[in-house]
Amino acid sequence: MINELEKDIDRILFSEDDIRKMVQKVAAQINEDYAGRKPLLVVLLKGSVIFAADLMRALVIDCEIDFMKVSSYSGTHSTGVINIVSDLRTDIAGRHVIIVEDIIDTGSTLFKLKGLLESRHPASLKICTLLDKPSGRKADVSGDYIGGTVGNEFIVGYGLDFDEKYRNLPYIGVMRNS
Ligand code: IMP
Ligand code: MG
């Protein structure tokens, strides 16, 4: 069957094999750093679910997973507050928490989320992102575990969407006319 989405993709940035290698690299670092500590993976919906599913299967340590959906308040001035659309079920006090994100762009969502989760007193809090887009950064936040870096272009696939579309592409590509 012909892939209905492929016609909108200009070029492939990370093939399935490239992604596998990025996931393995990040998982190896987490396996080493968290050996014996049972971290909680906090997966940010929706973009990170595919990455998180692969990452979790590449971990050989005892770990748990929970999900959260947040959005920044829109408006003319930033309140420094994020809107929790769906919160964690897990009490993170005393836990080693790893936020799992698809891509860090401006960093503003993660900056605010970090503040919110810190107020719940985790034992530690780190950020794991499949991709980093440093050219877009506005807030002072950086990933502790980073799969790969992208330039100033809009990418889709492997969980990343444009208007809820293209999340199911197995690779990551640049959209035509982006
Ligand atoms: P920010 O770091 O607060 O600007 O938000 C990052 C979020 O924006 C990511 O979790 C993605 O959902 C989305 N995003 C940023 N860059 C891209 C992209 O190139 N393609 C698809 N989504 C993106
Ligand atoms: Mg996202």
Return the pLDDT at 1. 87
> What does DSSP assign to residue 165?
B
Atom of ligand 1 nearest to the CA of 48: 10
Residue 23 burial (C-beta neighbours within 10 Å; 0-12, 13-18, 19+) = buried
- Name all domains of the chain by residue range, CATH numbers in brackets: 4-175 (3.40.50.2020)
Confirm or reject: Cβ of 154 under 6 Å from ligand 1.
Answer: yes
| pLDDT 10s digits, 11-26 | 999 999 999 999 999 9
The whole-angstrom separation of Cα 54 and Cα 38 is 18
| pLDDT 10s digits, 28-87 | 999 999 999 999 999 999 999 999 999 999 999 999 999 999 986 655 455 567 899 999
CA 25 to chain centre: 15
For residue 41, the surrounding DSSP H or E stretch is strand 40-44
pTM given for the model: 0.95
Write a three-state SS string for 49-105.
HHHHHHHHHHCCCCCEEEEEEEEECCCCCCCCCEEEEECCCCCCCCCEEEEEEEEEC
Tokens read off for 106: 């401006």
| pLDDT 10s digits, 148-157 | 999 999 999 9
Residue 31 burial (C-beta neighbours within 10 Å; 0-12, 13-18, 19+) = middle
Return the ligand number nearest the Cα of 158: 1
Return the pLDDT at 134. 97
Confirm or reject: Cβ of 155 under 6 Å from ligand 1.
Answer: yes
**Does residue 117 have a pLDDT over 70?**
yes
136 bridge partner residues = none
Over range 97-106, report the average pLDDT: 97
The gap between the terminal CA atoms of the chain, to the nearest Å, is 26
Confirm or reject: Cβ of 129 under 6 Å from ligand 1.
Answer: no
Return the pLDDT at 82. 84
Over range 135-156, report the average pLDDT: 96
Return the pLDDT at 49. 98
